[in-house]
Every structure is written in structure tokens, then in C-alpha cells.
Chains A and B, each alone.
Chain A
Amino acid sequence: DIVMTQSPGSLTLSLGERATIKCKSSQSVLYKSNNKNYLAWYQQKPGQSPKLLFYWASTRQSGVPDRFSGSGSGTDFTLTINSLQAEDVAVYYCQEYYTTRHTFGQGTKLQIK
């Protein structure tokens, strides 16, 4: 089974700062035949359902502000949020869909000082 490990577990930053969230998979989620990373990022705000931010590791979902970016390949991935806004307070999850199990990371809680 693939294990998805996110770091840090929580993050407290000031408005306007940059947030960097890491996700590491225990095995590669890069499918070589199509050169795609089967990795998604979700944002879950308090009291809401998860919302898709990125798929294929770096493809931004429609409507997601461009201060959000996704990067990485193979086993190491990063979600970056530039110029933090108050509305970015949420828990962020990575997820692999390379396997049937669709394993999620444990989440990173982002708070604003």
C-alpha cells in the first residue's frame, strides 16, 4: 500500500506570506506510459466538504486562484500558496489515485496569525 506523508502537520503564517506544504508518497505515483503523476490536492475549509485544487500534481482546477500552485513528480510533491489570504485557512490534503486505494495524506492545517 502507498503511504502518503504530509509535512508539516500544521502551519501558522501571517497574511501575505507564502505557505509551502509537502507531500511524500512511499512509492512513485508517476505512470510512465503517459508521464502523469496521479496526485491531487484538496482544500477543506472548516465545516465544508473538500474542494479539488490540483490534479495530475500541477493542473489547477477551474476557479482556483493562481497564487496556488502545485509541483513535483514521482514521490515528492509541493503545494505552494503565495500571498496568504484569510480565506486560505483550511486543512489541505494530498491524495494518490495511482492505486485502487486512493490514499490521502493526513492533512496539513493552515492557520493565520
Chain B
Amino acid sequence: DVQLVESGGGLVQPGGSLRLSCAASKFTFNAFWMSWVRQRPGKGLEFVAHIKEDASEKYYVDSVKGRFIISRDNAENSLYLQMDGLRVEDTAVYYCARGGRDTQYQFFEFWGQGAPVTVSS
């Protein structure tokens, strides 16, 4: 079965940086868009960013533009989220999710277990 396993979460001070990773397996990673979705404590789901199969297109929610960078390594079957300039409001569980094959306009069929990120002094 498809597996998505996030890592790299933790506690960081405001203004700090963190890099999340998502290890993918049991599917052809380089054939799918990949996404990050977050969930603030006690709140709903929020799309953060996604990246095309060959990394030639990337999209971000306005609140993270200029601070977060999504990337992928197809040779390693891995997705990343570099988070700089972290703010208290970035505190959330970050989920890695698989998007569509050859299209960004697709639902999220598979999700990871989530990586908790806490931004606090």
C-alpha cells in the first residue's frame, strides 16, 4: 500500500527554520504532484503548497509565500518543505499528501501521519 512518512518536525523559536521531509514508497513517486497540508491545533485543514512531478511548477498559499519552499528529490522518492522565518501561527501538524497524476487539479488520495511543528519562544 502507498506509504507517506513525514519527519523533521519539532519545536523552534519564532524566526527560526525547520525542514520537513516526506518519504514516499509503494508508488511511482515521479508521476504524481505532491502537496503539504497543515492543521493548526484544534482547527481545520489548510493547503500549504504543492509541486509538479518534475518540480517545474510550485504553488503556495499566500501566508507562506517567500518563507516556505517546497521541493522534491525523485531519485530519493522524497518531498521536502523548507520553512524559514517561522511564526507562532505556523504551529500545526503538517501532512504530506499525494496529488494527481499529470494534473494539479486532483484530490488527495493518500496522506502521511503528520509532522508536528511548534513555533514558540
A107 to B45, CA, bound (A): 8
Scan A18-47; emit 1 where CB is below 8 A from any B CB, else 0: 000000000000000000001010101000
Query: Given A49-B95, A102-B35, A102-B47, does the pair A97, B112 have CB atoms closer than 8 Å?
Result: no
Sorting the interface of chain B by its residue count into under 10, 10 to 19, 20 to 34 or 35 or more gives 20 to 34
Q: Provided the pairs A101-B47, A104-B46, A107-B44 are in contact, do residues A50 and B111 lie with their beta carbons within 8 angstroms?
A: yes
A61, B35: Cα distance in complex, Å: 20
Asked if B44 and A106 make an inter-chain contact with CB atoms under 8 angstroms apart, the answer reads yes
Minimum CB–CB distance for B90 against chain A, Å: 17
- Known interface pairs A49-B113, A49-B114, A50-B95; A98-B105 also in contact (CB < 8 Å): yes
Cα of A50 to Cα of B35 in the assembled complex, Å: 14
Contact residues on A (Cβ < 8 Å of other chain), bracket: 20 to 34
Which of A38, A93, A104 has the most C-beta atoms of chain B within 10 angstroms of its own C-beta?
Answer: A104
- Contact status of A95 and B59, CB under 8 A, knowing A50-B95, A107-B44: no
Residue B27 interfacial (CB < 8 Å) = no
Contacts of B47 in A (CB 8 A): 101-104
| A67 interfacial contact with B, CB 8 Å | no
Question: How far is B97's CA from A42's CA once the two chains are assembled, in angstroms?
Answer: 13
Q: Does B88 belong to the interface (CB within 8 Å)?
A: no
Smallest CB separation, A43 vs chain B (Å)? 11
A40: chain B residues at CB < 8 Å are 107-108
A51 B45 Cβ-Cβ under 8 A: no
CB of B7 to closest CB in A, whole Å: 15
A60 to B103, CA, bound (A): 20
Q: A95-B108, A104-B44, A105-B44 are in contact. List 4 more A-B contacts (CB 8 A).
A: A91-B44, A97-B106, A104-B45, A104-B47
B residues near A, CB below 8 A? 35, 37, 44-47, 50, 59, 61, 95, 104-109, 111-114
Interface pairs A-B: 8 shortest CB-CB: A40-B107, A102-B47, A49-B111, A55-B107, A104-B45, A107-B44, A100-B59, A106-B44
